[in-house]
Amino acid sequence: MNLITQLKQAKQASQLLVSLSAKQKNDVLKKLAATLRRETKTILVANAKDLAAVPAGYAMTDRLTLTTERVEHIAHSIEAVAKLPDPIGTLLERSTRPSGLQIERRRVPLGVIGAIYEARPNVTTEIFSLAFKTGNAVILKGGRDAYYSSGKLVALIQAVLTSCKLPKALCTLLDAHDRSALKQLVTAHGLVDVIIPRGGKGLIQFVREHAQVPVIETGVGVCHTYVERTANIKLAAAVVFNAKTRRCTVCNALDTIVIDQAALPTHLPAIAKQLAHAEVVIHADAAAYRLLQKQYPKHLLLHSRPQDYSHEWVSLQLSIKTVAHYEAAVQFVQQHTSGHSEAILTSNKRLAGDFTHRIDSAVVYVNTPTTFTDGFEFGLGAEVGISTQKLHARGPMGLTALTTYKWLVRSNGAIRKP
């Protein structure tokens, strides 16, 4: 079946969702969660094929890997989406005009969503669950590295849809090995309503350059944590460690520590001690390097380069930038942020408030690791991605990000004057 036919079928299938009640949609999602739990072993077998196919030292192994625990988390996430209020039909505003018009604005689905992502099989179910709950069909273009995992998950989704007498076209997975499909998808004006790329710089740039369909950009995160001189030392060490090492290949992981000059001798040793346990490679500026060279493992300590401060490491590496004072820190973060997630560690409430006000990022944290930038952690059930744009959706994208609205107008025969 060619791509255009698949897109037409998805468009037609999306129109059927309008008639489903919230309960009917939730029942499908609950059944899917139960199916995934029951099929955990077959899902892990498919995932093992993907893991066996990637080369040794593959950088995204953690993202690609599924475990029994992670499959359970996927199922739990789907159930969490089912428990959320259905946004479709929600009244956003209502007014009555002098002309007699009764005007309402209500949430409606986007229609057909094209989602492009790389080596993260769990994204398959996250996007489907949110899209289905909001009455959207999805066209998925997963990465080749997750070919078997994504294929198995979509097969299970389609089996559940069929058992509920719904069309399989509500969730379509394109061939990950077909390079031409990506360009066809992003240029399918009139058949696809929005494209959501979730991946690295290369993917985002390709979609930005070729899309003829509206795009919501997600993904690239260059995340900074500023250690202000009044920060609690123990808290700073724990937050930085979590932000860097929890899962270093995800977009909310810490990339650069910005630290006050005055905090170098007091705070950096404690922070570095934690990082050394996880064998984190540090790219340090001159001031930080001088302090660390006698107490940090030599093979893990390097001199930083200017480009390191705008780099998403996606590995157990980070850079350190020393600043003279608070204003210098704000300027540095503003200059290098990707608009994803930024944090300040401080005991100064005034500076904390000022930082959150001035830093232009989707999520700004105070005394908290950037690892919390996640739809599930924000109570969204799951996420389609983390938008770094400012239009329509920003930050973790949950149910409402997959909706638009329409105006409903009623009157008792109102006539507009000449």
pLDDT tens, residue by residue, 189-212 = 999 999 999 877 788 888 888 999
Residue 391 has pLDDT above 80, yes or no: no
Chosen CATH of 3-218 out of 1.10.287.70, 3.40.50.300, 3.40.50.170, 3.40.605.10: 3.40.605.10
Higher local confidence (pLDDT), 16 or 271: 271
Distance CA(27)–CA(374), nearest Å, equals 25
pLDDT classification of 22: cutoffs 50, 70, 90:
very high
pLDDT value of position 1: 75
Q: Which tokens sit at 38?
A: 């029951």
DSSP code of residue 211: -
CA atoms within 13 A on the CB side of 398: 19
Give the mean pLDDT of 322-330.
98
Report the pLDDT value the prediction gives residue 380, as an integer from 0 to 100.
85
Burial class (CB in 10 A: 0-12, 13-18, 19+), 19: exposed
Average pLDDT over residues 237-255: 94
Tokens of 246: 């929890």
Whole-number pLDDT of residue 119? 78
- Specify the pLDDT at position 10: 96
Amino acid present at 180: S
Q: What is the pLDDT of residue 38?
A: 98
Higher pLDDT, 120 or 316: 316
What are the sequence ranges of the domains in the chain?
Answer: 3-218, 223-372
Q: What is the pLDDT of residue 43?
A: 98
Query: pLDDT value at position 217?
Result: 81
Is the pLDDT at 407 greater than 80? The verdict is: yes
Please answer whether residues 227 and 244 qualify as being in contact, where contact means their C-beta atoms are separated by less than 8 angstroms: no
Average pLDDT over all residues of the chain: 94
pLDDT of residue 219: 65
Is beta strand 194-198 parallel, antiparallel or unpaired with respect to 102-109?
unpaired
- The pLDDT, as a whole number, for residue 96 is 97
pLDDT at 320 > cutoff 70: yes
Predicted local distance difference test score (pLDDT) of residue 198: 84
Nearest-angstrom CA–CA distance, 189 and 23 = 32
**Distance, CA of 238 to CA of 260 (rounded, Å):** 18
Position 163 confidence tier, pLDDT thresholds 50, 70, 90: very high
Percentage of the chain lying above the pLDDT 70 cut: 100
> What DSSP assignment string belongs to 73-142?
HHHHHHHHHHHSPP-TT-EEEEEE-TTS-EEEEEEEE--EEEEEE-S-THHHHHHHHHHHHTT-EEEEE-
Q: What 8-state DSSP symbol labels residue 217?
A: -
* Mean pLDDT across 120-127: 92
Q: Which of 74, 33, 64 is nearest to 376 (CA)?
A: 74
Global pTM reads 0.85
CA neighbor of 198 nearest in space, from 397, 392, 4, 355: 397
pLDDT at 56: 83
Distance CA 47, CA 121 (A): 9
Q: Mean pLDDT over residues 333-356, rounded?
A: 96
Write the pLDDT tens digit of every residue in 303-312.
999 999 989 9
Query: What are 95-121's pLDDT values in tens digits?
Result: 999 999 999 999 999 999 999 988 789
Among 3.40.50.2300, 3.40.309.10, 3.40.50.800, 3.40.50.170, name the CATH number for the domain at 223-372: 3.40.309.10
pLDDT tens-digit readout, 216-244: 888 678 999 999 999 999 999 999 999 99
- For residue 144, pLDDT over 80 is answered with yes
Q: Of 255, 311, 323, 244, which is closest to residue 286 (Cα–Cα)?
A: 323
Half-sphere exposure of 330 (CA within 13 A, CB side): 13
Number of residues in the chain? 418
- On the question of pLDDT at 133 being above 90, the answer is yes
Using CA atoms in the order 91, 94, 99, 100, what is the torsion angle rounded to 10 degrees?
Answer: 70
Average pLDDT over residues 60-84: 94
26: confidence class by pLDDT, cuts 50, 70, 90: very high
Please say if the pLDDT value at position 386 is more than 70. Answer: yes
